[in-house]
């Protein structure tokens, strides 16, 4: 099953966290070589938990950033998808197929490479060329299908009918939630005491489901989760309001990786187990948060992550406190910096121009 580097590469062990593998360095490019153990050690790293002076100033409370943007594959997605893919490889899967708004695809492509399996990533047609090229650079085959993630998902399900192929669900599977829950165990180990709130972005609801499961596992189920979405990708907020799953007619937000028209049923289940405060911000607020975070912390994240950061930058958290939904003197706030590959400086400028910000 191990994928060997093509040609004569000089191999050095760089101690990839949790990898149990080797890096083969050749022609300046780094290829992860699947090794014994690659199927049991998690593919994600223990991500840094950083105190942010700038965001703490804005929030009026200590803000910790759980930096999932530095995970291999660029987002938290590797936690759950890595877990899922390892399990499928154990069960004899021969080809991974994953529909994605981008980040799930990077996590699946990375996992496939670690497992020595081929991967096909199906993305909406409007996906940027940079993302397509980088996924191909990770060794994945890329297919473009439809306008939004839901369309690409149909195509992925069709491909997964092939013998030995397995569909990797970006957010709707218990193994995905189990993998994402590891994030909360890391918070518990780092903080000891529960934070006053956890802020995260919601797309299909996999991160929410994982964090909620993790909070229950560590006995922190009373910690409120502030669940952030952008208008036009607000399928969780709509479901909460209706008290049942709602399918949005279209995804109109620029935060395409939050763009699942319907959330997983588990997201509604979480609302019964944990305290969830759902908030919807405008695209302009999410993109503004991306710019401010870049200036404050010198990290560039995509608008999906900007939605979470906007909880602080656009004062939603303060509003929730003022309205009595959140404690007015929060011990600390953890923001999950979920990351994202769908951004570069040119794309940020284009988004700002589109939203009339510059
Ligand atoms: N993005 C998925 C689903 O897209 C994807 O394929 O990339 N923050 C970032 C940076 C994300 O990429 C995603 C999901 C989320 C937040 C939301 O996570 P979820 O789907 O588990 O709620 C359509």
| Per-domain boundaries in the chain | 49-75+173-354, 76-168
pTM: 0.91
Q: What are the pLDDT digits (tens) for 195-224?
A: 999 999 999 999 999 999 999 999 999 999
State which of 103, 175, 341 you would mutate to test the pocket of ligand 1, scoring each by most atoms of that ligand within 8 A of its C-beta: 103
- Using DSSP's 3-state secondary structure scheme, residue 56 falls into helix
- How far apart are the CA of 169 and the centre of ligand 1, in A? 11
Q: Could you tell me if 231 and 292 are in contact, meaning their C-beta atoms sit under 8 angstroms apart? A: no
State whether CATH 3.40.50.1100 applies to domain 76-168.
yes
- How far apart are the CA of 163 and the centre of ligand 1, in A? 28
Q: Is 179 in the pocket of ligand 1 (CB under 6 A)?
A: no
Task: At 138, list the tokens.
Answer: 């990770």
Q: How deeply is 358 buried, as exposed, middle or buried, from its count of CB atoms within 10 A (0-12, 13-18, 19+)?
A: exposed
Asked if the domains at 49-75+173-354 and 76-168 fall in one CATH topology, the answer is: yes
Q: What are the pLDDT digits (tens) for 121-143?
A: 999 999 999 999 999 999 999 99
State whether CATH 3.40.50.1100 applies to domain 49-75+173-354.
yes
* Average confidence (pLDDT) over 29-44: 62
Which residue shows structure tokens 């149990």?
20
* Average confidence (pLDDT) over 90-118: 97
Which residues make beta-bridge pairs with 29? Answer: 26
- How far apart are the CA of 297 and the centre of ligand 1, in A? 22
- Give the neighbor-by-neighbor strand order of the sheet with 10-12: 10-12, 22-26, 29-33
Q: Which residues contact 253 (CB under 8 A, 6 or more apart)?
A: 230, 231, 232, 233, 234, 259, 283, 286, 303
Q: Is 171 in the pocket of ligand 1 (CB under 6 A)?
A: yes
pLDDT exceeds cutoff 50 at 9: no
């Amino acid at each position: 099953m191990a994928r060997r580097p093509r040609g004569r590469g000089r191999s050095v062990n760089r101690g990839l966290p949790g990898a149990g593998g080797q890096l083969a360095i050749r022609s300046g490019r780094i290829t992860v070589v699947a090794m014994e153990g690659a199927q049991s050690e998690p593919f994600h790293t223990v991500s840094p938990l950083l105190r942010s002076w700038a965001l703490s100033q804005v929030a009026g409370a200590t803000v910790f950033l759980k930096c999932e943007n530095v995970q291999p594959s660029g987002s938290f997605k590797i936690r759950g998808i890595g877990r899922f893919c390892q399990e499928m490889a154990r069960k004899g899967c021969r080809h991974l197929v994953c529909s994605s708004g981008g980040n799930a695809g990077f996590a699946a492509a990375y996992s496939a490479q670690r497992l020595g399996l081929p991967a096909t990533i199906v993305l909406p047609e409007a996906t940027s060329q940079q993302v397509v090229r980088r996924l191909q650079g990770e060794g994945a085959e890329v297919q473009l299908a439809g306008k939004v993630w839901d369309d690409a998902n149909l195509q992925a399900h069709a491909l997964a009918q092939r013998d030995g192929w397995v569909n990797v669900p970006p957010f709707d599977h218990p193994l995905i939630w189990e993998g994402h829950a590891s994030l909360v165990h890391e918070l518990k180990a780092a903080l000891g005491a529960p934070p006053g709130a956890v802020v995260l972005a919601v797309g299909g609801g996999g991160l929410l489901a994982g964090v909620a499961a993790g909070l229950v596992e560590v006995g922190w189920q009373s910690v409120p989760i502030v669940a952030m979405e952008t208008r036009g990708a607000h399928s969780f907020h709509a479901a909460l309001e209706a008290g049942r799953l709602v399918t949005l007619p279209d995804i109109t937000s620029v935060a395409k990786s939050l763009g699942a028209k319907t959330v997983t049923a588990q997201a509604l289940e979480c609302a019964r187990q944990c305290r969830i405060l759902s908030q919807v911000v405008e695209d302009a607020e999410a993109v503004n948060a991306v710019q401010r975070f870049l200036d404050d912390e010198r990290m560039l994240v995509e608008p999906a992550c900007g939605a979470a950061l906007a909880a602080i930058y656009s004062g939603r958290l303060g509003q929730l406190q003022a309205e009595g939904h959140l404690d007015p003197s929060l011990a600390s706030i953890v923001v999950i910096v979920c990351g994202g590959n769908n951004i570069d400086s040119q794309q940020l400028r284009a988004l700002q121009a589109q939203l009339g910000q510059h």
